[in-house]
Amino acid sequence: MIAVMDAMGHKQFMLAGHDRGARLAHRVALDYPDRVAKLAVLDIVPTLEHFERADMEFALGYYHWFWLAQPHPFPEWLINKAPEEWWRQHTNRDPSQPDLFHPDALADYLAAVRQPDMVRGMCEDYRAAAGIDLVHDTASRSAGHKVQCPMLALWGAKGKIARWYDALAIWQSYCSNSVTGGPVSSGHYIAEEAPEALLDWFGRFF
């Protein structure tokens, strides 16, 4: 991501991410504090916090964290047997919203999940979260490294982050600057479920 910004001529930039993208954004802000002017994370707490606070409710609610992190090729083999069916079940967190994703986005998602290499990459991401990411996050915390820039943390009021954590307090402990934010009237997919509210938050923060 830093190489992309370099190629585009952006020495400093503002960064927002959702879910796995938010975890990446958090790491970029930690590793390159002089590059990230502002940071927004959507519907997460730090990966380290998830694993250290894990209990039965977390294991059942985020079961895919543990299943997709199993050694290659077990989860890939199962997903590739019925990729589209698996994707629809995995992302169908609110059956009352069957048309949550824009048709163009849905077509992209389904085209991607039919590619075995993409499925492998997705699983490797979860393996990293349970492995090297924890090594890096633990080292950063032990060294006292925190996010330096102003930060916005948002989460779905109907989702698991709201039920399990005091997200704002957790993020404040990972940041040396101000942390603002709060719940949005949505589930996990904030951008799709509550775009106007999200844009309002972004407009005021960025």
Q: Which of 18, 26, 50, 188 is catalytic?
A: 188
Whether 29 has a pLDDT exceeding 80, the answer reads yes
19 is catalytic: yes
Detail the DSSP E strand segments found in the chain.
13-18, 36-42, 151-156, 179-184
Residue 101 host element (H or E): none
What is the side-by-side strand order in the sheet with 151-156? 13-18, 36-42, 151-156, 179-184
Q: What is the pLDDT of residues 114-156, one digit of tens each?
A: 999 999 999 999 999 999 999 999 999 999 999 999 999 999 9
Tell me what pLDDT residue 95 has. Answer: 66
Tell me what pLDDT residue 52 has. Answer: 97
Domain assignments of the chain as residue spans, ordered by start:
1-53+144-206
Tell me what pLDDT residue 97 has. Answer: 72
Tokens 């940041």: give the residue: 175
Written as one string, the DSSP assignment of 98-121 is: TT-S-HHHHHHHHHHHT-HHHHHH
Tokens 């330096």: give the residue: 148
188 is catalytic: yes
Record the pTM: 0.94
Q: Which of 146, 131, 168 is nearest to 44 (CA)?
A: 168
Question: What's the fold here for domain 1-53+144-206?
Answer: Rossmann fold (3.40.50)
Q: What is the pLDDT of residues 62-112, one digit of tens each?
A: 999 999 999 999 999 999 999 999 999 999 876 667 788 999 999 999 999
Q: Which of 10, 19, 50, 55 is catalytic?
A: 19
Tell me what pLDDT residue 169 has. Answer: 97
- Per the structure block, which two tokens stand in for 187? 């589930």
Q: Which residues of 65-97 are buried (b: 16+ CB within 10 A; e: fewer)?
A: beebbeeeeebbeebbeebeebbeeeeeebeee
- Per the structure block, which two tokens stand in for 161? 């982050």
